[in-house]
Amino acid sequence: MAKYYQPEIETASREEIIAIQNEKIRKQVKHVYENVAYYRDLMDKQGVKPEDIQTIDDIKKLPFLTKSDLRDAYPYGLLGTDLKNCVRIQSTSGTTGKRVVAFYTQQDIELWEECCARAIVAVGGNEDDVCQVCYGYGLFTGGPGLNGGSHKVGCLTLPMSSGNTDRQIQFMMDLGATILCCTPSYAAYIGESLKEKGYKPEDNKLKAGIFGAEPWTEEMRHNIEESLGIKAYDIYGLTETSGPGVSFECEEQTGMHINEDHFYAEIIDPETGEVLPEGEVGELVFTSLDKEAFPLLRYRTRDLCVLSRKPCSCGRTHVKMSKPMGRSDDMLIIRGVNVFPSQIETVLLNEGFTPNYQIIVDRVNNTDTIDINIELAPEKYSDRIKDIQAMEKGLEAAMRTMLGIGPKVHLVAPKTIVRSEGKAVRVIDNRKLH
Ligand code: ADP
Ligand code: ZN
419: number of Cβ within 10 Å: 16
Query: Given ligand 1 and candidates 140, 236, 246, 340, which is best to mutate, with the most ligand atoms within 8 Å of its CB?
Result: 236
Distance 244 CA to ligand 1 centre (A): 9
Task: Point out the ligand nearest to the CA of residue 138.
Answer: 1
Residue 139 amino acid letter: L
Residue 45 amino acid letter: K
Task: Point out the ligand nearest to the CA of residue 251.
Answer: 2
- Of 272, 37, 159, residue with least CA distance to 168: 159
pLDDT reported for residue 381: 86
pLDDT reported for residue 98: 73
**Count of alpha carbons within 13 angstroms of residue 278, beta-carbon side:** 7
Band of pLDDT at residue 299, cut at 50, 70 and 90: very high
Atom of ligand 1 nearest to the CA of 303: 16
Distance 237 CA to ligand 1 centre (A): 6
Lowest mean pLDDT among 76-90, 108-122, 293-307, 369-383: 369-383
pLDDT reported for residue 87: 98
Measuring from atom 5 of ligand 1, which residue has the nearest CA? Answer: 92
How many whole angstroms separate alpha carbon 298 and alpha carbon 62? 7
Atom of ligand 1 nearest to the CA of 67: 2
Residue 339 amino acid letter: V
Band of pLDDT at residue 325, cut at 50, 70 and 90: confident
How many whole angstroms separate alpha carbon 395 and alpha carbon 378? 18
For 30, the 3-state DSSP assignment is helix
Average pLDDT (353-358) is: 94
Q: How far is CA 386 from CA 198, 284, 292, 306, 393, in A?
A: 31, 46, 62, 43, 11
How many whole angstroms separate alpha carbon 299 and alpha carbon 282? 14
Residue 433 has pLDDT above 80, yes or no: no
- Report residues whose beta carbon is within 6 angstroms of any ligand 1 atom: 92-96, 212-215, 234-239, 301, 303, 323-324, 327
CB-count burial class (<10 Å; 0-12, 13-18, 19+) for 231: middle
Distance 360 CA to ligand 2 centre (A): 38
Distance 389 CA to ligand 1 centre (A): 36
Average pLDDT (302-330) is: 92
Question: Which residues make up the environment of ion ligand 2, defined by Cβ < 5 Å?
Answer: 250, 252, 312, 314, 316
Lowest mean pLDDT among 66-75, 289-298, 312-321: 66-75
Task: Point out the ligand nearest to the CA of residue 255.
Answer: 2
For 344, the 3-state DSSP assignment is helix
Average pLDDT (375-388) is: 90
Task: Point out the ligand nearest to the CA of residue 139.
Answer: 1
Residue 127 has pLDDT above 90, yes or no: yes
Phi-psi region of 201 (alpha: psi -120 to 50; beta: other; left: phi over 0): alpha
The per-residue pLDDT for range 79-101, each reduced to its tens digit, is 999 999 999 999 987 766 778 89
Residue 326 has pLDDT above 90, yes or no: no
Spell out the residues 6+ positions from residue 287 whose beta carbon is closer than 8 angstroms to its own. Answer: 25, 28, 59, 62, 263, 264, 266, 296, 297, 298, 299
Distance 251 CA to ligand 2 centre (A): 6
96: number of Cβ within 10 Å: 11
Residue 398 has pLDDT above 90, yes or no: yes
Atom of ligand 1 nearest to the CA of 211: 23
| Long-range contacts of residues 386-394, Cβ cutoff 8 Å, at least 24 apart | 394/351
The per-residue pLDDT for range 247-292, each reduced to its tens digit, is 999 999 999 999 999 999 999 999 999 999 999 999 999 999 999 9
Residue 42 has pLDDT above 90, yes or no: yes
Could you tell me if 354 and 412 are in contact, meaning their C-beta atoms sit under 8 angstroms apart?
no
Q: Taking the CA atoms of 266, 270, 273 and 275 in sequence, report the sign of the dihedral they define.
A: negative
Task: Point out the ligand nearest to the CA of residue 313.
Answer: 2
Q: What is the DSSP string of 293-314?
A: SS--SSEEEEEEE-EE----TT
Measuring from atom 9 of ligand 1, which residue has the nearest CA? Answer: 238
Terminal CA-CA length for the chain:
58
Q: What is the 3-state secondary structure (H, E, C) of 222-261?
A: HHHHHHHCCEEEEEEECHHHCCEEEEEECCCCCCEEECCC
Distance 22 CA to ligand 1 centre (A): 28
Residue 410 has pLDDT above 70, yes or no: yes
Spell out the residues 6+ positions from residue 116 whose beta carbon is closer than 8 angstroms to its own. Answer: 145, 146, 148, 149, 150, 152, 243, 244, 245
Query: Given ligand 1 and candidates 303, 323, 327, 427, which is best to mutate, with the most ligand atoms within 8 Å of its CB?
Result: 303
Measuring from atom 19 of ligand 1, which residue has the nearest CA? Answer: 213
The per-residue pLDDT for range 151-172, each reduced to its tens digit, is 999 999 999 999 999 999 999 9
Residue 225 has pLDDT above 70, yes or no: yes
Average pLDDT (196-221) is: 97
Average pLDDT (326-341) is: 86
Atom of ligand 1 nearest to the CA of 94: 3
pLDDT reported for residue 434: 59
